[in-house]
Amino acid sequence: MPELPEVEIFRRFIDCHTLNERIQAVTVRHPKGLRDLSPGALERLCVQHRFTETLRRGKYLLAKLEPANALSKSTPTVQAPWLLFHFGMTGCLSYTASTGHSINAYGDAINRDAHSRVSFSLGNSGQLHFHDQRLFGYISAIDHPEAFFESKQLGPDALSISQREFLARLQHKTGTLKPLLMNQAVLAGLGNIYVDELLFQCKLHPAQPVTQLPAVMLKHLHQEMQSILNNSIRLDTDRDALPAHYLWHQRHPKGHCPRDGHPFQIETVGGRTTYFCPHCQKLKRTERLKKSV
């Protein structure tokens, strides 16, 4: 499932292959590839216009289109619309060059053509494709990104949030760590896999009450979060290339802790399947936490 690092890779993929290329045609291959947007409306927004910049907040990717009247010298320019990409559980992007050579944003060899939902034909004879096998993702259109983020009650982005703001958003929250970190209104972009990884690296139990964490531990949590996210982006989200001490490599029913060899415990925390080491991620009292940091 695409989380923040994957969507950041998708953003950079659009920047690399399609930015400022005029869109010649749009093909909608499945109606569920769009939300609150008809194929005709998408065509009117896109054809003969270009993506001029991209923006990401959490798991949402936005591509700005030049205004509909940008080609007219006599008409004042109006607010440019944005295409909104949400990738659901299986969404991905690919690009087919004029030579016919295709590359997908993950850089793997998987052929996703059978699940292509929307394609954009570009002025350089290339094509951008939106794929989604399970059809939980979609493309939509919005006018104002900040208003959209506010309507979704989306918190600050996990990759760009400052340490000060991170502490301010968590220090006075009630509840336990994993559900709070996955709450997109608190922090945008973290999903099940990266939260399990983060808590493992910080030796914190997923059900640890946040109110029991001292500020120094929250600072460490913020630092490790950004390190893990940046590391994944640097590796083009190839999780198998992550360092050997990461939980990811043992995230399966027979997995064991790479630190101490203990079998991982699998529980449901906050409604999500959770992997953790019961030996080095024990629930701790405040006094013990202060001594451990």
Return the pLDDT at 97. 96
Mean pLDDT, residues 271-293 taken together: 79
Return the pLDDT at 291. 52
Structure-block tokens of residue 21: 């290329």
- The CATH number of 4-151 is 3.20.190.10
Written out in words, the top-level CATH class of the domain with range 163-292 is mainly alpha
* Distance of alpha carbon 63 from alpha carbon 85, whole angstroms: 8
User: Has residue 77 got a pLDDT over 50?
Assistant: no
CB of 251 closer than 8 Å to CB of 230: no
Return the pLDDT at 139. 98
> What is the per-residue pLDDT across 126-171, written as a single tens digit (0 to 9) for each?
999 999 999 999 999 999 999 999 999 999 999 999 999 999 999 8
Within 8 A by CB and 6+ apart from 215, the residues are 167, 171
| pTM of the shown model | 0.91
Terminal-to-terminal C-alpha distance of the chain: 33
Name the H helices within 48-144: none
Return the pLDDT at 80. 76
Coil, strand or helix at 108? coil
* Distance of alpha carbon 146 from alpha carbon 143, whole angstroms: 9
Return the pLDDT at 162. 98
Whole-angstrom Cα Rg for the chain: 21
> What is the per-residue pLDDT across 79-133, written as a single tens digit (0 to 9) for each?
679 999 999 999 999 999 999 999 999 999 899 999 999 999 999 999 999 999 9
Structure-block tokens of residue 36: 């609150």
Return the pLDDT at 286. 57
Return the pLDDT at 67. 77
Confidence of residue 172 (pLDDT cuts 50, 70, 90): confident
Confidence of residue 193 (pLDDT cuts 50, 70, 90): very high
Mean pLDDT, residues 4-24 taken together: 97
What is the domain partition of the chain in residue ranges? 4-151, 163-292
Q: Where are the beta strands (DSSP E) in 153-271?
A: 265-269
Return the pLDDT at 32. 95
Say yes or no: do domains 4-151 and 163-292 share a fold.
Answer: no
CB of 260 closer than 8 Å to CB of 183: no
Confidence of residue 76 (pLDDT cuts 50, 70, 90): very low
Return the pLDDT at 288. 53
Count the Cβ atoms, other than its own, within 10 Å of residue 136: 14
CB of 224 closer than 8 Å to CB of 196: no
User: Has residue 33 got a pLDDT over 70?
Assistant: yes
- Burial pattern 8-31, b for ≥16 Cβ within 10 A else e, equals bbbbebbeebbeebbbeebebeee
Q: Which residue type, as a one-letter code, is found at position 93?
A: L
> What is the per-residue pLDDT across 212-271, written as a single tens digit (0 to 9) for each?
999 999 999 999 999 999 999 999 999 999 999 999 999 999 999 999 999 999 999 999
Coil, strand or helix at 96? strand
Confidence of residue 62 (pLDDT cuts 50, 70, 90): very high
Confidence of residue 289 (pLDDT cuts 50, 70, 90): low
